[in-house]
Amino acid sequence: IDRKDAKMVMAHLYVAFVSLAIGGLCGLLQVLVRSGKVQLPAGISYYQILTVHGVILALVLTTFFIIGFQFAAISRTAGTLSNGIRKTGWAGFWTMLIGTVLAATMILLNEASVLYTFYAPLQAHFLFYLGLTLVVVGSWISCAGMVAAYVKWRKANPGKPGPLLTFMSVVNAVLWFIATLGVAATVLFQLLPWSMGLVDRVNVAVSRTLFWYFGHPLVYFWLLPAYMCWYVIIPKVIGGKMFSDTMARLAFILFLIFSIPVGFHHQLLEPGIDPAWKFIQVILTFMVAIPSLMTAFAMFATFELYGRSQGAKGLFGWVKKLPWNDARFTVPFIGMLAFIPGGIGGLINASHQLNAVIHNTIWVTGHFHLTIATTVILTYFGVAYWLVPHLTGRVLTKKMNRLAIIQGVTWAVGMTFMSGAMHAEGLLGGPRRSAFSTYGDAPQALEWIPYQIAQAVGGAILFLSIILCLIIFINLAFFAPKGEEEFPVSEASEHAAQPSPVFENWKLWVGITAALILFAYTIPFIDMIQNAPPGAKGFKLW
Ligand code: HAS
State whether residue 361 is helix, strand or coil. Answer: strand
Cβ neighbours around 32 below 10 Å, total: 20
Average pLDDT, the chain: 94
- Supply the pLDDT for residue 535: 60
The active-site residue, picked from 64, 93, 211, 220, is 220
Structural domain harbouring 478: 149-530
Q: Is the pLDDT score of 540 beyond 90? A: no
Interval 16-38 mean pLDDT: 93
Is 376 near ligand 1, meaning CB less than 6 Å away? Answer: yes
How far apart CA 362 and CA 217 sit, in angstroms, is: 22
pLDDT per position as a tens digit, 168-221:
999 999 999 999 999 999 999 999 999 999 988 889 999 999 999 999 999 999
Cα separation, 433 vs 114, in Å, equals 11
- Asked if the structure places residue 410 within a domain, the reply is yes
Alpha-carbon distance of 43 to 335, in angstroms, equals: 37
Q: Is residue 289 part of a domain?
A: yes
Residue of 491 and 310 predicted with greater confidence: 310
Residue 423's alpha-carbon distances to 35, 339, 454, 462, 521, in angstroms, are 16, 15, 12, 17, 31
Q: Is 367 noted as a catalytic residue in this protein? A: yes
Ligand 1 pocket test: pick from 339, 363, 427, 434 the residue with the most ligand atoms within 8 Å of its Cβ: 339
Asked if residue 88 is part of any domain, the answer here is no
User: What digits encode the pLDDT tens for the residues 86-121?
Assistant: 999 999 999 999 999 999 999 999 999 899 999 989
Q: Catalytic: 359?
A: no
Kindly give the distance from the C-alpha atom of residue 346 to the centroid of ligand 1, in angstroms, as a whole number.
4
Residue-wise pLDDT for 253-281, tens only, equals 999 999 999 999 999 999 889 999 999 99
Residue 350 lies in a domain: yes
306-315: long-range pairs with CB below 8 Å, 24+? 306/235, 306/238, 306/239, 306/240, 306/241, 309/240
pLDDT of residue 512: 97
Evaluate if residue 538 carries a pLDDT over 50. no
Distance CA 34, CA 42 (A): 17
Residue with the nearest Cα to atom 33 of ligand 1?
346
pLDDT in tens, 149-169: 999 999 999 988 999 999 999
Which element (helix H / strand E) includes 222? helix 204-228
Annotation marks residue 328 as catalytic: no
Question: How far, in Å, CA of 367 to CA of 379, rounded?
Answer: 17
491 three-state secondary structure: coil
- Give the chain's radius of gyration (CA, Å): 23
User: Omega before 121 cis (within 30°)?
Assistant: yes
Alpha carbon of residue 76 to chain centroid? 22
Domain tally, the chain: 1
Residue 123 lies in a domain: no
336 lines ligand 1 (CB under 6 A): yes
- CA of 372 relative to ligand 1 center, distance in Å: 8
Residue 314: inside a domain: yes
Distance separating alpha carbons of residues 542 and 540, to the nearest angstrom: 5
Residue-level length of the chain: 542
Going by pLDDT thresholds of 50, 70 and 90, the confidence category of residue 516 is very high
537 — pLDDT class (breaks 50, 70, 90): very low
Residue 273 Cβ inside 6 Å of ligand 1? The answer reads no
Span from the CA of 367 to the centroid of ligand 1 (angstroms): 7
Q: Do 415 and 335 form a contact (C-beta atoms < 8 A)?
A: no
Residue nearest to atom 54 of ligand 1 (CA): 296
Q: Are 288 and 262 in contact (CB under 8 A)?
A: yes
Asked whether residue 539 carries a pLDDT value surpassing 50, the answer given is no
Cis before 261? omega within 30: no
Helix axes 204-228, 164-185, angle to 10 degrees: 170
Q: Are 514 and 257 in contact (CB under 8 A)?
A: no
Rounded mean pLDDT, 125-140: 96
Q: How many angstroms does the Cα of residue 373 sit away from the middle of ligand 1?
A: 11
Cα atoms in the Cβ-side hemisphere of radius 13 Å centred on 408:
30
d(CA 373, CA 411): 10
Contact 458, 411 (CB under 8 A): no
Residue 379 pLDDT greater than 50, yes or no: yes
Which range has the worst mean pLDDT, 36-45, 264-273, 308-317? 36-45
Query: What is the three-class DSSP state of 482?
Result: strand
pLDDT at position 542: 44
Which residue's CA is minimally distant from atom 41 of ligand 1?
359
Give me the percent of the chain exceeding a pLDDT of 90. Answer: 87
CATH of the domain at 446: 1.20.210.10
Residue 23 lies in a domain: no
Contact 361, 426 (CB under 8 A): yes
User: How confident is the model over 337-348, as a mean pLDDT?
Assistant: 97
Residue 333 lies in a domain: yes
Give the predicted TM-score (pTM) of the model. Answer: 0.96
